[in-house]
Chain A
Amino acid sequence: MQSPNDSSLNMRWTRRELLHRCGMGLGALALPGLVGELLAGESSPNPLLPKQPHFPAKAKHLIHIFANGGPSHVDTWDPKPAMEKYAGQEMSGGAPRTERPTGNVYPSIFKFQKHGQSGLEVSELFEKTASAHADKLCVVRSMHADVPNHEPSLLLMNTGESRLVRPSVGSWLTYGLGTENQNLPAFISMCPDGYPIQESQNWQAGFLPGIYQGTYIDSKHESVDRLVEYVVNRKLGRSAQRRELDLIQKMNDEHIRARPHDPMLEARIQSMELAYRMQEEALDVFDVSSEPKHVLDMYGPGVQARQMLIARRLIERGVRVIQLWHGAGQPWDNHDHIFDGHRKLAKECDQGIAALLTDLQQRGLLDETLILWGGEFGRTPTVEMPQKGANAGTISGRDHNHYGFTVWLAGGGLRGGQAYGATDELGFKAVENRVHVHDLHATMLHLMGFDHTKLTYRFAGRDFRLTDVHGRIIQEWIA
């Protein structure tokens, strides 16, 4: 295995040496925080210890807000006044082929307005996010992907490959960076009330060790024991558990005394202590009810708001990568009644997104957190034709569109207040400064301190990477 930068060397103090450096005797075993983690990592196979990237970078965490289903860019972040002009007319040359037949140009009903000093134009659907944060957003209006279907496009956005088994972005990042809090999972994927399409493949570790897989959390639940598997003991109070653990460790000490110099034995001893501590940490981090009222009010009601708030709490505690899915299945997939649908969906998340950015900034965390908002593709500026059993038989929606769509980024190391690239006059195809998903990935890795061509893993005789043989860093995004 080729690690990005063998900083684990720095961690390879012997246990004795470390205790010595910290001025502690061998009795001080159950150490909290960093020292305890170092100890656990000492000579040990914990692959999640923090590691340095290839070069210094501002962004240390990633939050990916996944508007799954394919949000319409022409109704949100990519204003197309020409749609009015051609309303109800056929596109010259006909609409490009997408998943389903589409008809004439179908203008957005939403008002776009300029925001901030940058004058970034955003629709009323994301009014709260735009009005508070326009100057922080790097809106990429020239994204394109490969095909107009959910499954391959989800995998492409998440793993850089539309069909085969490959590690997800979050797995690559935790492989490259480890995590700063050994008491919590390194990579968390939250989706209320079930899985998105392609299910846990979206946060899969692929051929990387399973520990880099995202931990799924059904954020519909409010009680922590339903949020995180195995984190709550229902049958044993804390002091009794400690007593049991003490017995285990006494036995382990005897055992290892007869078997010195075995890092595996030592590592397991430490990981039991970590497990014990993790219960408390997890209980705390997912319990948003302890937040002051003004914070709860800022995020607003609903599950979107709650998972945004949980995300901030996780970032604060050093979790590396968080994905926030809008909901099970493909909620943004409005093949019909798109205006009602999008209005409702945006209302569910706009305030929470705005609050998350504000909150992170107020805590000085925005600089070190990269935020990505987007779906797996966008939607057509033309109306979807009615089909039996497909779109309620109405003429009120838009089809999938992989030729052109929008994502935005904010936070660590980005140049905000800009719209990068452009789609054609009607918003169908990316035409100016086109950005493929591989380029997005390459630039995200760059922002997190990695040369995307060098973050590799040897598998089946080859050094694999997130961007395969593709990827171009978009310098204009970088502050």
Chain B
Amino acid sequence: MTAGAADLLRSIRRRSDNLDVGIQPSRIGLALLGMITCFSVGKGQDPKVDFFETKIRPVLVERCYECHSAQASDLGGQLRLDGPSAMRQGGSMGAALVPGTVDQSLLIRAIDYGDANLQMPPDGKLPQEQIDDFKRWIADGAIDPRPDTDPGKPDPKADRMAIAAKHWAYQPLEQPAATVPSSEMADWDPIDVSVARKLQEKQLTLSEEADRRTLVKRLYYDLLGLPPTFAEIEAVANNTSANWYAELVDGLLQSPHFGERMARRWMDVVRYADNKGYVFQEDREYAHAYRYRDWLIRSFQQDLPYDQFLRFQLIGDRLDPQNAAGHLDAMGMLTLGRRFLNNKHDIVDDRIDVVTRGLLGITANCARCHDHKFDPVSMADYYSLASAYMESDEPGGDPSPMRLVDRPDQGATRILLRGNPGNQGPEVPRRFISFLQPESPVDMKTASGRLEMADAIASPRNPLTARVWVNRVWGWLYGSHLVDSPSDFGLRTEAPAQQFALDSLAWDFVQKGWSTKQLIRRIVMLKTYRQRSEHREDAFAIDPENRLLWRSNRKRMDFESFRDALLHATGRLDRAVGGKSAPITTPPFSNRRTVYAYIDRQNLPQLFRSFDFATPDVHVPQRSQTTVPQQGLVLFNSEMVMSMLEGLANEASRRGRDAGIDYLFEQVLARRCTDQERSWVAELIDANDLQLPPAPENQWSYGVATLDPESGRVEGFQSLPRFHNNRWQGMKDDLPDPDSDWALLSATHGHPGLRLDQTVVRRWTAALDGKLRVRGVLKHPSDQGNGVRGSIIIRGSEKVGQWTVVHGETETQIDEVQVQAGDTIDFATDSLGDSSNDTFEWKVRIVSNDESRVRANSEKHFTSQKTRALSVWEQAAQALMLTNEFCFID
């Protein structure tokens, strides 16, 4: 056993009072106890010790210990910095510091970077602030409460615990002291006052309030994920009430689409998908996943208090065991993850991740194999959390297939050494993460600990739950988070630049009954939120990342909002709330909001990936934002987008050119167009020279025509109007059709109509000039009837080949045909006056003269789509929807 594991074992036994084995309470145990004391009293001990703990120790641990502590594999300069004596004693160059004397302290010389031969840390100078802290600390006597560790006995855990006790995110929630407002700020929210003061320190100010139309669009996007209509914007613009903004906010919070917007955001947090991922043979679907999604929508819509919201998702089995109120479905949060071929340990690991990172901003999964290297999370913590799931079953079936229940026969929980199920370590007490809740271990014989976990998370005393949630909500609304690692509030995460805002929101949120709607209302009412998003040179020079919140952030629409906005602009949006998931990438294209899209975890379509959709495999703290040409390809070329355009285009075109253009702007961009813009669009509308692209499918058409079999003249070509049973045919489902009789064409086969004016024609139109050959076989498989006659005719008039086949087959080869782009080659088949038993097969290939390239293949390029070129009005509509204006929110 390693020294670390032995220490751990000791500390665990200490905690479970398992002292009869004769192990003395270890130093770590004591450190833990000391830490707990720190928690209960918070700040307020010796300020010099405080200073060391908050300013000095973290830097030593982060930047120095790797080479200058007992844990260093190669001790630099024989110097250790992991204990007070070691520092004074120093290394090969002498004492690292002399308390009280800054300029004689070697440490300062090294970190000052003034001496080219002695610069530490070697990977980069410390920030000046930290260097000044060290100077101040040494000047003040270098107070150092760390115990001196024995050589070879590193104590990283004690370091972590001591730092944790002072870490900003782990401090109890309290009402932060507000800055005193100046007179003009008298009626401001204290958050705005604090933000403004922080800006003042840098000689900056908040940006002006954005104009009304911008704010309307921003609020619709942030709260609903849908754009406002032209009329909605105008209504707000003309609202004379002094409270117009608050009225708008309150109205939007009541919209049925608010719940959809929030639910989809939460679905990123809990890695929602409609299937299990890779499975061997079992059913891959989570057929009931949508019920969890709908529960989320309802909960946000009804503003279910966030603590309740979490409790239902963790212990719905206890709160609504029969699913009478539908709350049992909330357990989908835990149970809808990837199945990892049903490896229970991996399933549990995934659930721990969702709960710890998603709800608490704690990264716990490293502790599956070893104590966390940076944060105060031990293997004992991990396996204690794991037991909450290991000791729960998924009974499936009624009343909810997504529920978990505690197993009737509860087992002990053991650490799995190095995460290996075959290598069981010591037993651990069942409780929540120990640094957050050191007491009240669960009785392992009766309960999994899931209830206690829910209690510990959904608690006003938990310092993380509310902070993590308000930070997420802030990020969704403001476009950047206060804490920019929203799922890691660990020791390496610095306090946010605007910490007052975070703490004030968190405190207020819990005080006001965990109301997410109230939280959102407070944020969007802030001056900070209502700022313009424009660039300001003065502020940008000082704070390019906008950490001090001197402007609003311009946002690019996320995937869901973008697709919803397309449906909205084209008038196709289906506003129904709730229901089963709908595939959105395949025809017939759904008009449902994207929150209802079927999420295939295993093979997420490229469409989602191209637009930075959250991977449904794991908890996603925030989406990445990339700009790549694949996005443009989807927008230009996808059937999904192009299929939306027709209705809108028809409506515009009906109004005539200029009025139609005005209409398009109002529908798509929700504003009036300028004269210049109107003239730009008019140019496109007037061009009107439609051309299909030369895709191989587009080169074929299927119809009937009048054939003169002697001369080879083909006249009056009419496309077969209907695609039915995988073939083109007349309008009437049951043939014969009154116009085209039995005429039909499939990928390989066909049937002529009775008369010569019902000759069935497969027509190819050349996209390029060239010398070609035709290869093919015409078959008449039936042993009855009088057979069929096939003719190959160029440019509608030149017969180059003709064959009659009766109960057999014949090759139909033409060795050289010269065509120009736009020329046709017809494969015409007629009935020879008797259309009974006239089903034929005729597959043809058109190849280049040297046979090296296939130019056309009647079977492979057969298509059910009746392709028509995008009309100019459709193009105009598409163009407006592809602009930056459409996809960015100021």
Q: Find out whether the CB atom of B637 lies under 8 angstroms from the CB atom of A259.
A: no
Q: Find out whether the CB atom of B637 lies under 8 angstroms from the CB atom of A233.
A: yes
A340 at the interface (CB under 8 A from B): no
Pick 26 A–B contacts, CB within 8 A, sort by A: A45-B626, A46-B627, A46-B628, A151-B341, A185-B630, A209-B624, A210-B608, A210-B610, A215-B606, A230-B606, A235-B693, A239-B691, A244-B878, A247-B680, A251-B884, A252-B883, A262-B535, A264-B554, A264-B627, A267-B627, A274-B632, A275-B631, A277-B629, A289-B852, A460-B357, A461-B372
Which residues in chain A, 141-170, are within 8 Å of chain B measured between CB atoms? 151, 163-165
Q: Find out whether the CB atom of B880 lies under 8 angstroms from the CB atom of A262.
A: no
B330 at the interface (CB under 8 A from A): no
Q: How far is the CB of A191 from chain B (nearest CB, A)?
A: 12
Q: How far is the CB of B400 from chain A (nearest CB, A)?
A: 26
Please give, as numbers and ranges, the residues of chain B lying within 8 Å of A262 by CB-CB distance: 535, 554
Number of interface residues of B (CB under 8 A): 95
Q: Find out whether the CB atom of B603 lies under 8 angstroms from the CB atom of A199.
A: yes
Q: How far is the CB of A10 from chain B (nearest CB, A)?
A: 19
Q: Find out whether the CB atom of A461 lies under 8 angstroms from the CB atom of B853.
A: no
Partner of A251, one of B617, B691, B878, B880: B880
In the complex, what residue of chain A is closest to B882 when comparing beta carbons? A248
A391–B171 alpha-carbon span in the complex (Å) = 63
Q: Find out whether the CB atom of A255 lies under 8 angstroms from the CB atom of B884.
A: yes
Q: Find out whether the CB atom of B888 lies under 8 angstroms from the CB atom of A264.
A: yes
Q: Find out whether the CB atom of B691 lies under 8 angstroms from the CB atom of A230.
A: no
Q: Find out whether the CB atom of A244 lies under 8 angstroms from the CB atom of B875.
A: yes
Q: How far is the CB of A314 from chain B (nearest CB, A)?
A: 16
User: Which of the four size classes fits the interface of chain A?
Assistant: 35 or more
Q: Find out whether the CB atom of A275 lies under 8 angstroms from the CB atom of B630.
A: yes
The answer to whether residues A235 and B692 also contact, given A210-B612, A274-B632 and a CB cut-off of 8 A, is: yes
In the complex, what residue of chain B is closest to A290 when comparing beta carbons? B853
Please give, as numbers and ranges, the residues of chain B lying within 8 Å of A230 by CB-CB distance: 606, 630, 633-634, 636-638
A307 at the interface (CB under 8 A from B): no
Interface string of B826-868 (1 = CB under 8 A from A): 0000000000000000000000000011100000110001011
A271 at the interface (CB under 8 A from B): yes
Interface string of B777-811 (1 = CB under 8 A from A): 00000000000000000000000000000000000
Partner of A234, one of B624, B625, B683, B698: B698
Partner of A268, one of B869, B887, B890: B887
In the complex, what residue of chain A is closest to B536 when comparing beta carbons? A261
Which residues in chain A, 32-46, are within 8 Å of chain B measured between CB atoms? 44-46
Q: How far is the CB of A462 from chain B (nearest CB, A)?
A: 5
Partner of A235, one of B363, B625, B642: B642
A225–B637 alpha-carbon span in the complex (Å) = 11
Q: How far is the CB of A208 from chain B (nearest CB, A)?
A: 9
Q: Find out whether the CB atom of B609 lies under 8 angstroms from the CB atom of A231.
A: no
B885 at the interface (CB under 8 A from A): yes
Q: How far is the CB of B109 from chain A (nearest CB, A)?
A: 29
A182–B631 alpha-carbon span in the complex (Å) = 13
Partner of B606, one of A198, A229, A248, A268: A229
Q: How far is the CB of B838 from chain A (nearest CB, A)?
A: 31
Q: Find out whether the CB atom of A269 lies under 8 angstroms from the CB atom of B884.
A: yes
Partner of A261, one of B535, B624, B689, B692: B535
In the complex, what residue of chain A is closest to B848 when comparing beta carbons? A289
B374 at the interface (CB under 8 A from A): yes
A236 at the interface (CB under 8 A from B): yes
A268–B812 alpha-carbon span in the complex (Å) = 52
Please give, as numbers and ranges, the residues of chain A lying within 8 Å of B609 by CB-CB distance: 205, 210-211, 213
Please give, as numbers and ranges, the residues of chain B lying within 8 Å of A97 by CB-CB distance: none
The answer to whether residues A460 and B363 also contact, given A165-B617, A236-B875, A268-B884 and a CB cut-off of 8 A, is: yes
Which residues in chain B, 345-377, are within 8 Å of chain A measured between CB atoms? 346, 349, 353, 357, 363, 365-366, 372-375
Please give, as numbers and ranges, the residues of chain B lying within 8 Å of A195 by CB-CB distance: 603
Interface string of A252-270 (1 = CB under 8 A from B): 1011100111101101110
B425 at the interface (CB under 8 A from A): no
Q: Find out whether the CB atom of A255 lies under 8 angstroms from the CB atom of B692.
A: no
The answer to whether residues A275 and B636 also contact, given A198-B278, A251-B879 and a CB cut-off of 8 A, is: yes
Q: How far is the CB of A308 from chain B (nearest CB, A)?
A: 18
Interface string of B462-489 (1 = CB under 8 A from A): 0000000000000000000000000110
Q: Find out whether the CB atom of B626 lies under 8 angstroms from the CB atom of A211.
A: yes
A183 at the interface (CB under 8 A from B): yes
Please give, as numbers and ranges, the residues of chain B lying within 8 Å of A264 by CB-CB distance: 554, 556, 625, 627, 888
Partner of A222, one of B603, B634, B683, B860: B860
Please give, as numbers and ranges, the residues of chain B lying within 8 Å of A278 by CB-CB distance: 629, 633
Partner of B629, one of A182, A199, A240: A182
Please give, as numbers and ranges, the residues of chain B lying within 8 Å of A276 by CB-CB distance: 632, 636
Interface string of A61-96 (1 = CB under 8 A from B): 000000000000000000000000000000000000
Q: Find out whether the CB atom of A265 lies under 8 angstroms from the CB atom of B884.
A: yes
B613 at the interface (CB under 8 A from A): yes
Which residues in chain A, 196-250, are within 8 Å of chain B measured between CB atoms? 198-201, 204-207, 209-211, 213, 215-216, 222-223, 225, 229-241, 243-245, 247-248, 250
Partner of B879, one of A211, A248, A269: A248
Please give, as numbers and ranges, the residues of chain B lying within 8 Å of A182 by CB-CB distance: 629
Which residues in chain B, 654-708, are within 8 Å of chain A measured between CB atoms? 677, 680-681, 683-684, 687, 689-698
